[in-house]
A and B are shown apart, each in its own frame.
Chain A
Amino acid sequence: MPGGGLHLEIDALSAFFLLPVFGLSLLTGIYGRSYLKGREPGPAAGSWFHLNMLTAAMALVIVARDGLLFLVAWEIMALSPFFLVIFDDRREAVRQAAWIYLAATHLGTAFLLVLFVLLGSLAGTSDFAGYAAVLHGQPALSSTIFLLALVGFGAKAGIVPAHVWLPEAHPAAPSHASALMSGAMIKVGIYGLVRILSLMEAPTAWWGWALIAAGASSGVLGVLYALAQHDLKRLLAYHSVENIGIILIGIGIGVLGLAYGMTVLAVLGFAAGLLHVVNHSIFKGLLFLGAGAVQHATHTVEIEELGGLLKRMPWTGTTFLIGAAAIVGLPPLNGFVSEFLLVYSGYLGLIEPNTTIAAAGLVSIVSMGLISGLAAACFAKAFGVVFLGSPRSHEAAEAHEAAAPMLVSMTALAFCCVAIGAAAPWVVRSLAGVVGAVTHLPLPQVHTALAPVTASLTATIAVFAVLAGVALLAWVVRARRLAVAGVRRAPVWGCGFQRPTARMQYTASSFAQPLVTQFHLIIRNREVMAPPTGYFPTSSSYASDSGDPFLGLLFAPSFRWFGRLMRRMNVVQHGHIHVYVLYVAATLIALLVWGSLSP
């Protein structure tokens, strides 16, 4: 390969990240066949091509061990989603979303370009082994590289404030593409960060703090913005921001542990972050596929127009419920396992005499508590309003269950959520290899560090067995009592109101309103309300818009400023061809003069 080596390699870290990439590609492929059925063959074929390119590029990024090869694969991986997002290119909003994605991804790539060029010029080679050698014993250089990696890879992963493309791009893309992008592609950003970290010998403590700060702010802000959304796919996109935050908190604790030489903390932090990578790709893939099934059946993802879908789409609804419970981190599903690891490492940090570690533990515990509480609120809203109650529109009332291949994909992912939760001790034990590869700790030491937590997870199985047993017993008692006493069906009590309609139900906006109001300084939800007035009110209206404040207050103004700056360059642009020929000639002469003057 010109300029670089075609160096490919699979180690434990690469293999670990290839797992969600290939697994999710397979399932989204099966799903997409039904999802795209009936679309025009031309655009659909293009969409398939770019989906396959995306998978191939992600795999290449993960196995590349050469800076140039990595960047080329990275760029293919960055471009394919642009074509996936712009699938419905007749809609203005979709084109806009694709442009925002393209700008965001290239801003990130710019930092990566600097990172690899800097390392390459110092090392004299573009091979990763050479990078590791030049970074050895260079704390200042290592810190620079870490910052470049955090920003560059963070933009792909969706760390606040570089998350702005997620809520635009995910709703615009076809659902199976959103699932692959959110489930696998943004994780490749995390992979890049972890790969760069693994090239360095000893991390500095402040890196851990930077990661925890980025993680906690992404986590809390992501879930807060998600609360205000009433587009199901936008809501899910913001939850990706939240979960990337959780992953970063885990990695941050791991880095702190390495920096202070606390093996157990380092192992648990990385194990929590990496396990959450896989878990998030499972349940977020599942939830996007579920949202796609809803969209396919009702032609909308506007939460306020849905309702009562659990009766009409029982299989989709049940798998979505499993995904929702898993992403909230409820036991005994897979989300709980990684969040348990993370909070547990926080509690272990608390009992260290070192107050820095204790403070980091406290920060991660409190932010995890807040994130999981708010996520529970958000998914109670999303599942409750979309799938429960009565349909709020004709389309929702006429909804039908998704096609069999779509159900197969969703069921497989839901099964993974349950299976990882049930086999938690075994899953955590099998993380030893990848954690060892990242931390450079010998494998026996990693196993020793993981032993107490796997013992705890084994004990939780007994607790959950009792839970299931008691619930079953109560169910049987209840069923036998009702067999004697009888069951009636009746309209839901409406406080004496005789003609309830579906419009009287609580909506997503009203459900989230107390929290959105409480955090209005952060969420900045805009409301336009015309309340009913007078004794005989005729009409009233309410509209809310939850645009991203970072897009509106940070990126849009800075891009406008940049656009104005660039417009000044217009003075040299006239559109007359002879002027450009003059520019070319002048440049040539200037170069000739410069060349002849310099020795």
Chain B
Amino acid sequence: MTGLHWFFSPLCALLLAPLFPGVINRTKAFVAGRRGPPLLQPCRDVAKALRRGAVYGDTTTALVRLGPVINLGTLVAALLLLPFASVPAVIAFSGDLIVLVGLLGLGRFATVLAALDTGSSFEGMGASREVHFAALAEPALLLALATLTRVTGATSLSAIYEGVGVGTWAHALPTLALVAMTFLVLELVENSRIPVDDPTTHLELTMIHEVMVLDHTGPDLAIIQYGAALKLWILGSLFVGLAVPMHSGDPWLTGAAALAGMAGLAIVVGIVESAMARYRLVHVPQFIVGAATLAAVGFIVLLV
């Protein structure tokens, strides 16, 4: 187990991440009174897209093909930095949280340029919204991580999440609760979920992420869909590591608690999507800046 246990976190993510959107969709179906698609439907979608051929726009260059591939690379690389279920990350070093933010930025830049490569005004629209909201979400993420750094005195993701335990919650309850709220909002924003974006409609005028990938087909689309599941997992595990601060000596128990936490988060996202409507686009920045403010308030609470 010792050799393998370092790879526990990325393996969990690579294998289980596609289930995350499956659980969200089942929850939404349950709330709406439908039976809903099977849990493994996202896997089937990826497999189906992989079998298909591809259609590329006349205007496009190699960038439209490179975008999804680079995005997937950044997400898998980010998994190496991510601790999960009290198991430290494969690669942990002081300042790795900045690299995580940088990797997410690179993946987004590649996706945006791939969208602009088509020259379609719909994809330009999606790209414009994506960079707008991301410009506000990035400081929010850095701020939330900064607050956790101040709480735990650690500058590496693995050390930070190792340092967050039940005892930490006891003495820094308001701060941790506020940061957890920020992470929850960022999970919705970064993954283009309701109330920021509607992942189910394909009505271009209302959308961000789905409209950016409108002209991607076949294996490219499969890579994008799998990448989207990984990104849900990555930001989700930032939240779950904080909300389920379990460090029992038993790895099975800790692992089960973390996985239950991820499932719980997926259900929460599903309930949010069922209960809320999408915000008007002009109100989304307020939502993101509000989330950043929560983390900032958490930081100020620590100083007093």
Contact = CB atoms under 8 A, between A and B. Distances in A.
B93 A468 contact: no
B133 to A, nearest CB: 9
B119 A470 contact: no
B106 A350 contact: no
Contact of A376 (B59, B60, B134): B134
Contact of A478 (B80, B125, B223): B223
Contacts of B135: 370, 373-374, 376-377, 515
A379 B70 CA distance: 18
B251 interface: no
B218 A474 contact: no
Nearest to A486: B53
Interface in A362-392: 362, 365-366, 368-370, 372-374, 376-377, 380-381, 383-385, 388-390
Interface in B72-125: 72-74, 76-77, 80-81, 91, 93-99, 101-103, 105-106, 108-109, 112-113, 116-125
A491 B139 CA distance: 38
B53 A474 contact: no
B57 A490 contact: yes
Contacts of B120: 492-494, 505
B204 A495 contact: yes
A308 interface: yes
Interface string A443-473: 0000000001101100110111011111100
Interface in B125-160: 125, 127-129, 131-132, 134-143, 146, 149-150, 153-155
Nearest to A366: B139
Q: How large is the interface on B (under 10, 10 to 19, 20 to 34, 35 or more residues)?
A: 35 or more
B119 A308 contact: yes
B58 A350 contact: no
B215 A380 contact: no
A343 B223 contact: no
Contacts of B139: 366, 369-370, 373
Interface string B52-78: 111111111101011011101110110
B165 interface: no
B95 A482 contact: no
A493 B56 contact: no
Contacts of A99: none
Contacts of A365: 142-143, 146
A390 B76 CA distance: 33
Contacts of B118: 389, 492
Contact of A329 (B53, B94, B102, B218): B102
Interface of A: 307-308, 310-311, 321, 325, 328-331, 336, 340, 343-344, 346-348, 350-351, 355, 358-359, 361-362, 365-366, 368-370, 372-374, 376-377, 380-381, 383-385, 388-390, 452-453, 455-456, 459-460, 462-464, 466-471, 474-475, 477-478, 481-482, 485-495, 502, 504-506, 510-515, 518
* Top 6 closest pairs, chain A to chain B, by CB: A506-B124, A389-B119, A373-B135, A369-B139, A384-B116, A471-B73
Interface of B: 50-61, 63, 65-66, 68-70, 72-74, 76-77, 80-81, 91, 93-99, 101-103, 105-106, 108-109, 112-113, 116-125, 127-129, 131-132, 134-143, 146, 149-150, 153-155, 204, 214-215, 218-220, 223, 281, 285, 299, 303
